[in-house]
Amino acid sequence: MIFGSFFRAIGLYGTHRVARIALDIDSTLHHYWDLLDSIARRRFGVELPYHEQRDWGITKLERADLVAAIEETHSEENILRAEPYPGAVDVVARWHEEGHWIHVTSHRAVATREATERWLERIGMPYDDLHCSYDKVPRCVELGIDVLVDDSPVNLAAASDAGIVAATILHPWNERLVEEGAAIGGRDWPELAGRLEPLLLR
């Protein structure tokens, strides 16, 4: 189910397969949850323990408070000081060197694009395209994306339904999707890269 549509969609150039890979940022390229938890505790007195977040929805905060907390996580200062997961930059750099097209896509306001560009430059991550908006999966479909690496089970399921290979760093809120075979998962970037390697081999 995961691989069939990928091999039908992927292009063959020279002697190796060239994929179009989309990468989420928060909780995919860097550990985002601790920042959101600290802001929720400081501003609203509400704790959001990582290991208790088994569902995608965050119900401990009122909607307006959640929006405010997320907006603060995407301040220029917070964006620029984020540290990538171990191995993330190395894996993506290798994919890019192999000729795969890298589309960085984040559920962030358009106004965060400049800070996001600066962050990607700071951490040394190569990419071909950057999209900060709220239409991630439809945009991936428009671009002919073959693989989406994201943490959201909603986005992963939508990508899979659209014929895109869904892949993720494992989190409490998306483990079940991986267990059900609807997405490829890894505990960290090296493990995830290894599980995607059969799809991306030269």
* Mean pLDDT confidence for 139-162: 97
Domain range annotation of the chain: 2-31+85-200, 33-80
Sheet of 101-106: strands edge to edge? 129-132, 101-106, 20-23, 147-149, 165-169, 184-186
* Length in residues, the chain: 202
Q: For 110, phi and psi rounded to 5 degrees?
A: -55, -35
Topology annotation, domain 2-31+85-200: Rossmann fold (3.40.50)
State the pLDDT at residue 190: 98
Task: Write the DSSP assignment of 109-133 as a string of letters.
Answer: -GGGHHHHHHHHHHHT---SEEEES
Residue 201 is predicted with a pLDDT of 67
pLDDT digits (tens, 9 = 90+) for 31-57: 999 999 999 999 999 999 999 999 888
Q: How many CA atoms lie within 13 A of 125 on its CB side?
A: 26
Q: Give pTM, 2 decimals.
A: 0.91
Q: What is the pLDDT of residue 200?
A: 84
